[in-house]
Chain A
Amino acid sequence: MIDVKNLTKRFGDLVVLDGISEHIDKGECVVVIGPSGSGKSTFLRCLNLLETPTSGEILFDGVSMTDPKTDINKMRQKMGMVFQHFNLFPNMTILRNITLAPVRTGRMSKAQAEAKALELLERVGLQDKAGSYPAQLSGGQKQRVAIVRALCMEPEVLLFDEPTSALDPEMVGEVLDVMKLLAHQGMTMVVVTHEMGFAREVAHRVVFLDGGKLLEQGTPQQIFGAPNNERLRSFLAKVL
């Protein structure tokens, strides 16, 4: 579904991503781990072109994301993204946060979008918050709304950029539960996270980045049970 070929990203002289190649299948849940500054977030943000790669190619369903002729807005409609800091729109109600994009991009009528939004909100237990504003919600609630907002576009893949890192510890669980549910329903997901428990339990595949290089990848059993790479071993020793 997503093909990354020799992806490189430089900020000035700083090489953040150094020739990464990856393939993500439909229905797969891939968890990206690595120390901070390893390029995990940049890798994720390159997938939907929030960062423009310096070189390399990203194919989504066979369409090149990096080709200037590609309609990037159309492509992004198929790729939802959930941010560390939620990035809900503070000037709109929850319902409008969720329905703005589906309606404005012509995917759904207003009535369709609202029905869908309410259905999704109910699934994450927030149906009574539809008329609230983001400022009235807790961090965990905001992140669940952000997931619903991404889901309402009916994306083919969801990108999670450290979705629980900005949350109070007691709210991490409620967000992870929603993500687990999505993974079990077969949603294609790429998750950058420090939640090793989530990676072990839910991921089909774990990818380890360090220094902008993809150093090791494999099933959670391989990565956590029998890591080969020296850097990965010392990283795991510190976080587990």
Chain B
Amino acid sequence: MEQFKAWQALMIAGEPTTLWQQFYVRFYQAFIENDRWQQYLNGVGTTLLVTALALTLGVVLGIIVAVVRTAHDQQRPGRHNVVLGVLNSILKVYVTVIRGTPMMVQLMIMGFVIFSSSRDYVMVGALTLGINSGAYTAEIIRGGLMSVDAGQMEAGRSLGLNYADTMRFIIVPQAIKAILPALGNEFIVLLKDTSLISVIGGKELLYAARGVVSRTYEAMYPYIGTAIIYLLLVMLFTWLLDIFERRLRASDRR
């Protein structure tokens, strides 16, 4: 503390300082002074919370959209279900609109137009990210369902199983294994995209860094620190996903 004050005074006064002294002062300023590390920590907490909420919502939405769209496409010719048709059209619009507009724009519309009176920026952010992620996850899951050999569906149906049971016991378990890498990818993208909710006031990691920058007029350390934290988080989750995936594969070759 005293050392920081002393070296800071030197720098403010324009005295010559060593590289080490400059690093020490700026680092201290960015992370330690006024217990700023707590702001980053809270930011990381919010980031993880938003990621978890958005991921859950995205996967649920994705499964619904993928199953409805696949079921619609797999109807026997001449036996079209009207409800399924309408639902399919609505979901197609959802996927088109969400994938066709930038996430930042979606966030601003949600934050400043639709939920402009809400103060709960974190929830609005999680909701927006979840809805966004759902559109992409839907296509990932749909791809997984379609990648399962058509013979599997035929075998299930030829035994007299109905469509839902065949999906549940035969197609979906095989599809999950196929889409896990892509789903992991989507998860990582989502984790990083949570940084966008700072534009509507969500107090996540980047928001904390920006707060520190505006108070210390020093951008390098907070932002590079933030980047390193994101990188560590992503590396941690990549590692966990790898372990999970390897477990699933191992059960393949029993």
Q: Add 9 more A-B contacts to A52-B78, A76-B158, A101-B160 (CB < 8 A).
A: A50-B154, A73-B162, A88-B155, A89-B155, A91-B170, A91-B173, A100-B170, A132-B254, A135-B253
Q: Would you call A85 and B151 a contact (CB within 8 A)?
A: yes
B: residues with CB less than 8 A from A are 76-79, 149, 151-152, 154-162, 165, 169-170, 173-174, 177, 252-254
Q: Would you call A83 and B160 a contact (CB within 8 A)?
A: no
In the complex, what residues of B have CB within 8 A of residue A185's CB?
none
Q: A83-B151, A89-B155, A135-B253 are in contact. Are A100 and B161 (CB under 8 A)?
A: yes
B159 touches which one: A74, A77, A91 (CB < 8 A)?
A: A77
Which A72-117 residues have a C-beta within 8 angstroms of B?
73-81, 83, 85, 87-92, 100-101, 104-105
Q: Would you call B159 and A153 a contact (CB within 8 A)?
A: yes
In the complex, what residues of A have CB within 8 A of residue B170's CB?
89, 91, 100
Q: Would you call B154 and A83 a contact (CB within 8 A)?
A: yes
Shortest distance between the CB of A75 and any CB in chain B (Å): 8
Shortest distance between the CB of A50 and any CB in chain B (Å): 6
In the complex, what residues of A have CB within 8 A of residue B151's CB?
83, 85, 87
B160 touches which one: A68, A87, A135, A153 (CB < 8 A)?
A: A153
State whether the Cβ of A234 lies closer than 8 Å to any Cβ in chain B: no
In the complex, what residues of A have CB within 8 A of residue B253's CB?
135
In the complex, what residues of A have CB within 8 A of residue B165's CB?
104
State whether the Cβ of A150 lies closer than 8 Å to any Cβ in chain B: yes
Q: A83-B155, A91-B174, A135-B252 are in contact. Are A105 and B160 (CB under 8 A)?
A: yes
A133 touches which one: B169, B173, B254 (CB < 8 A)?
A: B254
In the complex, what residues of A have CB within 8 A of residue B158's CB?
48, 50, 76, 79-81, 150
**Nearest neighbor of B163 in chain A, beta-carbon distance:** A73
A: residues with CB less than 8 A from B are 48-50, 52, 68, 73-81, 83, 85, 87-92, 100-101, 104-105, 132-133, 135-136, 149-150, 153
Give CA–CA (A21, B114) in the complex, Å.
Answer: 63
Give CA–CA (A80, B160) in the complex, Å.
Answer: 9
In the complex, what residues of B have CB within 8 A of residue A104's CB?
161, 165, 169
Give CA–CA (A74, B158) in the complex, Å.
Answer: 10
A73 touches which one: B149, B154, B160, B177 (CB < 8 A)?
A: B160
In the complex, what residues of A have CB within 8 A of residue B162's CB?
73
Give CA–CA (A136, B151) in the complex, Å.
Answer: 19
Q: A52-B78, A85-B151 are in contact. Are A136 and B161 (CB under 8 A)?
A: no
**Nearest neighbor of B176 in chain A, beta-carbon distance:** A91
**Nearest neighbor of A150 in chain B, beta-carbon distance:** B159
